[in-house]
């Protein structure tokens, strides 16, 4: 409590006048026992200021009897450092650097007086920004940074899942979020998680461990399972050596077949050399009553069956230029390893040939002419020649020998040249005229040459000193290149019964289980219907179609369709005769008829053409003449041609175009032989030179040895091509069907080689 102003003024006056209070002890007031000391209580807290006293009997107002006040100016005695009674001391002040009235909590000081630029709060969260909206880049009121996205694969596109705000460019970040595949720069991660990968792959089971997979067993995965490979080229998935035999044994070599060909069968070769037991239905021969070392049943064998032999058979071979007037002829030569041989004639009608029959040694020695320009084959269907110990040969007309047809069990040889020869290695040595021959040359003109100069097409008497050793069962100008074939079968010394039960026979069971060939009287085609089904019921109907049976085609009734020829090209014959050849084109007719592209050496693809009529009517072209529209006179060769008979073309499958190297071929059109006996039930009518055509069910054949039976490929590059042969290419002949007029065979040309492809 502060002193009153009046008191302070009186006290000041006393001191100014030089008056001092009297000593109370000396001048006691009346009624006062003596003066007391009083202390001023200026702050009214009941405690006196020891520095301000009063002596007297009674205290003045504002004085107390104690001097206990340590803080005379403050009633509660807690004056702070700033002189404020009861104050809390100097406060904290905070810098307001941005002038927004809010202090920086990190920039303060304590003081009794407020410094300039300081405030009494620390509420400024953004001391450097008066508007308190500093952006992420530290700029007061700034727009902030841009969004950046990590470009992990370096393709310029950002990963939307890896973003951050950028105040300035940061390596590895871009300002777009368009990367759908952040770990693949090409953005084509496959199903297996591989950037730009191929995806899941097909793997094939390698069941036999040969490194090639089974094309039927595969999985599509990213990684191959065990025992799976990438390549599917295993032709035999369960055989590492890829040579499973017919018995299903890998690398078995068919060794598990018995002698009849049954896998794991019980048939065995008995003492007679027959396959018996098992499924053969034959009881093995073992009894030998005469103790001659040969089972009794084997003693039934004919003499010739106890020798090795070769049967060479000319089958249905026409005479050259006969045009159906005679033949074709079927005959054979049988060679025995003891030097015997035989001529046998099966079919020589209608007869119009003029052959020489006989044999001769080198230089004409030891010759025998049994017929020259004669009909000897008609008179003597069997002629047996015995070899004597002195090397000479004599005829034995008493010796009988069965005709053994070898077409069905032997080797087939087709001639491409009407005057050609084909070499035949023998399984034994054939003795003749003091020499032994291990091979013979089969001549197209009905001869078998053992050695030396070969005879030509023009026959003559045997004993020609200019010729070598040869046998002549039917020496004449024959033409197997246009029809027929040669069949060969060789047999060892085994005494074996054929399916006819004949020991030494050659009859065999065909695919229908019928015994054919040899001495069997069965026509091998008689039990096949027109669809090739054994004992089937399909037949050619009135429209010339094979119908009924198992064809699925209902037979057409009488009058259901037109009657007309239907020409086809025999593709099997084309495939079997095609060869690569060279010729010297020195005949101007070849160029004139476009058979070659120029003179000199020409590279050609040579082939035979067989055209058959499978329609329900004959192809009738009539006699060649200027008045007949089918025929054109060839000035170069001096005779008529049916110019639109066939077209020969070379097709390039890679470029899908026909090369300009082929030509149309004109021929005479005649009956050569039966093509389909189900159609030509009465055989061929015999169309020939003056009345040309093809009987329904018959065929006309041009062998590859003839001129213009080729395509000139000189200059054609290597590669794959198709030889295309089309009959009636201009549609001049009215047919039942023209969609079947072409045959084609694919070939590969490689330098001076050619390969026929499947």
> Residue 726's pLDDT band (boundaries 50, 70, 90)?
very high
Residues 6+ apart with CB under 8 A from 205: 213, 214, 217, 218, 227, 228, 237
| Tokens 């308190």 found at | 132
Tell me, rounded to whole angstroms, the distance of Cα 487 from its chain centroid. Answer: 38
> Does 584 lie in the same domain as 456?
no
Residues 641 and 734 in one domain: yes
Residues 6+ apart with CB under 8 A from 203: 213, 218, 219, 220, 221, 224, 225, 228, 229, 230
In a domain, 626, yes or no: yes
- Is residue 676 situated within a structural domain? yes
Task: List, for residues 27-56, the tens digit of each pLDDT value.
Answer: 455 557 788 999 998 888 889 989 899 998
Inside any domain, residue 416: yes
Q: Quick one: pLDDT at residue 689? A: 66
pLDDT band at 1 (very low <50, low <70, confident <90, very high): very low
Last residue of a domain, one of 443, 475, 509: 509
Q: What is the pLDDT of residue 514?
A: 83
| 60 part of a folded domain | no
SS3 576: helix
Examine the domain organization and report whether 556 and 469 are in the same domain: no
Number of domains in the chain: 3
pLDDT score at 472: 97
User: In 193-286, which residue ranges form alpha helices assigned H by DSSP?
Assistant: none
Alpha carbons 404 and 302: distance in angstroms, whole number = 14
Find how far residue 624's CA is from the centre of its chain.
Answer: 51
Assess whether pLDDT exceeds 80 at residue 690.
Answer: no
Q: Is residue 147 part of a domain?
A: no
Same-domain pairing of 601 and 544: no
Same domain? For 463 and 604 the reply is no
Of 465, 481, 509, which residue is a domain's last? 509
Kindly state whether residue 706 falls inside one of the protein's structural domains: yes
Are residues 473 and 589 both part of a single domain? no
Residue of 505, 504, 488, 366 lying closest to 431 (CA atoms): 366
Same domain, 695 and 730: yes
Q: Mean pLDDT, the chain, as a whole number?
A: 83
Q: Are residues 542 and 599 in the same domain?
A: no
pTM: 0.44
- Please report where in the chains the tokens 């010297």 appear, as a residue: 584
pLDDT digits (tens, 9 = 90+) for 87-130: 888 999 999 988 889 999 989 999 999 999 999 999 988 888 98
CB 512 within 8 A of CB 499: no
Is 316 in a helix, a strand, or coil? strand
Q: Please indicate, yes or no, if residue 4 is contained in any of the structural domains.
A: no
Q: Determine what percent of the chain is predicted with pLDDT higher than 90.
A: 34
Please give the helix or strand (H or E) that residue 5 lies within, else none.
Answer: helix 5-17
Across 349-376, average pLDDT: 91
- Residue 545, domain extent: 528-561
| Chain segment 630-686, per-residue pLDDT in tens | 666 555 554 455 666 788 999 999 999 988 887 666 567 888 888 898 888 888 888
Max avg pLDDT among 296-300, 684-688, 729-733: 729-733
Q: Pick from 261, 288, 266, 285: which is nearest to 277 by CA? A: 266
pLDDT, tens digit, 9 for 90 and up, residues 498-548: 787 777 778 888 878 888 887 777 766 667 787 888 888 888 776 767 888
Q: Is residue 126 part of a domain?
A: no
Q: What is the pLDDT of residues 6-28, one digit of tens each?
A: 443 344 333 333 334 444 444 45
Q: Which helix (H) or strand (E) holds 674?
A: strand 673-674
- Residues near 26 by Cβ (< 8 Å), separated by ≥ 6? none
Pair (646, 554) in one structural domain: no
Q: Once rounded to an integer, what is the mean pLDDT over residues 710-715?
A: 92
Position 558 scores a pLDDT of 65
Backbone φ and ψ for 34, nearest 5 degrees, come out as 155, 155
Does position 706 have pLDDT exceeding 70, yes or no? yes
Q: Is-contact 676 614, C-beta < 8 A?
A: yes
Average pLDDT (612-617) is: 91
Same domain, 416 and 459: yes
Q: Which two structure tokens, joined as six digits, stand for 98?
A: 């941005």
- The dihedral formed by the CA atoms of 656, 661, 667 and 672, expressed in degrees to the nearest 10: -60
The string of pLDDT tens digits covering residues 431-451 is: 999 999 999 999 999 999 999
Distance CA 518, CA 502 (A): 9
Mean pLDDT, to the nearest integer, of 480-506?
79
Are the C-beta atoms of 442 and 473 separated by less than 8 Å?
no
- State the DSSP H helix or E strand holding residue 378, giving kind and residue range, or none if neither: helix 376-379
Q: How far apart are CA 298 and CA 288, in angstroms?
A: 9
The verdict on 328 and 470 lying in the same domain is yes
Distance CA 167, CA 154 (A): 21
* 553 plus 689 within the same structural domain: no
Listed residue (367, 377, 264) closest to 330, CA to CA: 377
């Amino acid at each position: 409590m502060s002193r009153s102003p009046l008191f302070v003024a009186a006290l000041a006056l006393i001191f100014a006048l030089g008056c001092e209070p009297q000593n109370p002890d000396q001048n006691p007031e009346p009624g006062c026992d003596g003066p007391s000391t009083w202390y001023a209580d200026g702050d009214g807290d009941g405690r006196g200021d020891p520095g301000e006293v009063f002596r007297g009997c009674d205290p003045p107002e504002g004085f107390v009897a104690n001097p206990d006040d340590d803080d005379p100016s403050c009633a509660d005695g807690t004056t702070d450092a700033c002189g404020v009674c009861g104050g809390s001391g100097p406060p904290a002040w905070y810098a307001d650097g941005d002038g927004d009235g809010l202090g920086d909590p990190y920039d303060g000081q304590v003081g009794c007086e407020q410094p300039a630029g300081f405030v009494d709060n620390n509420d400024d969260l953004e001391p450097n920004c008066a508007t308190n909206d500093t952006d992420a880049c530290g700029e007061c009121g700034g727009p902030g940074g841009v969004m950046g996205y990590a470009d992990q694969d370096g393709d310029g596109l950002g990963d939307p899942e890896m973003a951050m705000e950028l105040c300035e460019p940061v390596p590895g970040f871009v300002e777009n979020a368009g990367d759908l595949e952040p770990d693949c720069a090409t953005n084509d991660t496959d199903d297996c998680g591989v950037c730009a990968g191929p995806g899941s792959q097909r793997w094939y089971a390698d069941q036999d461990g040969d490194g090639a997979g089974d094309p039927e067993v595969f999985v599509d995965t990213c990684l191959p399972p065990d025992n799976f490979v990438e390549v599917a080229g295993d032709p035999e998935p369960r055989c590492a050596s890829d040579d499973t035999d017919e018995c299903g044994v890998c690398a078995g070599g068919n060794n598990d077949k018995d002698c009849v060909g049954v896998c794991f069968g019980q048939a065995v070769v008995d003492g007679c050399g027959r396959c018996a037991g098992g499924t053969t239905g034959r009881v093995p021969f073992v009894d030998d009553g005469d103790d001659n070392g040969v089972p009794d049943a084997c003693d039934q064998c004919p003499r010739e069956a106890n020798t090795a032999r070769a049967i060479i058979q000319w089958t249905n071979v026409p005479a050259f230029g006969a045009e159906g007037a005679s033949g074709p002829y079927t005959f054979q030569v049988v060679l025995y390893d003891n030097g015997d041989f035989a001529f046998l004639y099966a079919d020589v009608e209608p007869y119009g040939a003029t052959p020489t029959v006989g044999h001769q040694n080198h230089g004409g020695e030891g010759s025998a002419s049994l017929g020259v320009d004669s009909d000897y084959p008609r008179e003597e269907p069997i002629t047996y020649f015995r070899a004597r110990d002195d090397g000479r040969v004599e005829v034995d007309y008493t010796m009988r020998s069965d005709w053994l047809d070898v077409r069905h069990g032997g080797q087939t040889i087709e001639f491409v040249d009407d005057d050609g020869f084909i070499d035949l290695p023998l399984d034994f040595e054939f003795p003749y005229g003091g020499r032994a021959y291990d091979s013979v040359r089969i001549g197209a003109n009905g001869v078998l040459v053992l050695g030396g100069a070969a005879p030509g097409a023009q026959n003559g008497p045997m004993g020609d000193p200019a010729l070598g050793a040869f046998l002549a069962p039917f020496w004449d100008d024959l033409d197997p290149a246009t029809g027929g074939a040669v069949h060969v079968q060789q047999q060892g010394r085994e005494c074996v019964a054929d399916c006819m039960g004949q020991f030494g026979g050659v009859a065999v069971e065909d695919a229908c289980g019928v015994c054919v060939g040899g001495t069997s009287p069965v026509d091998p085609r008689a039990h096949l219907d027109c669809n090739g089904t054994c004992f089937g019921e399909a037949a050619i109907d009135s429209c010339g179609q094979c119908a009924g049976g198992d064809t699925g085609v209902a037979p057409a009734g009488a009058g259901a369709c037109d009657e007309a020829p239907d020409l086809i090209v025999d593709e099997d014959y084309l495939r079997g005769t095609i060869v690569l050849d060279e010729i010297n084109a020195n005949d101007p007719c070849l160029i004139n008829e476009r058979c070659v592209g120029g003179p000199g050496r020409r590279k050609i693809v040579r082939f035979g053409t067989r055209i058959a009529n499978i329609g329900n009517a004959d192809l009738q072209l009539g006699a060649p003449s200027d008045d007949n529209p089918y025929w054109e006179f060839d000035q170069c060769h001096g005779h008529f041609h049916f110019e639109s008979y066939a077209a020969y073309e070379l097709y390039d499958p890679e470029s899908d175009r026909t090369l300009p190297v082929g030509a149309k071929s004109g021929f005479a059109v005649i009956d050569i032989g039966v093509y389909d006996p189900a159609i030509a039930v009465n055989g061929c009518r015999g169309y020939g030179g003056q009345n040309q055509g093809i009987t329904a069910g018959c065929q006309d054949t041009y062998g590859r040895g003839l001129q213009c039976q080729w395509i000139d490929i000189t200059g054609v590059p290597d590669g794959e091509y198709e030889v295309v042969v089309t009959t009636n290419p201009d549609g001049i002949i009215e047919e039942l069907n023209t969609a079947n007029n072409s045959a084609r065979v694919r070939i590969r040309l490689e330098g001076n080689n050619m390969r026929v492809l499947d």
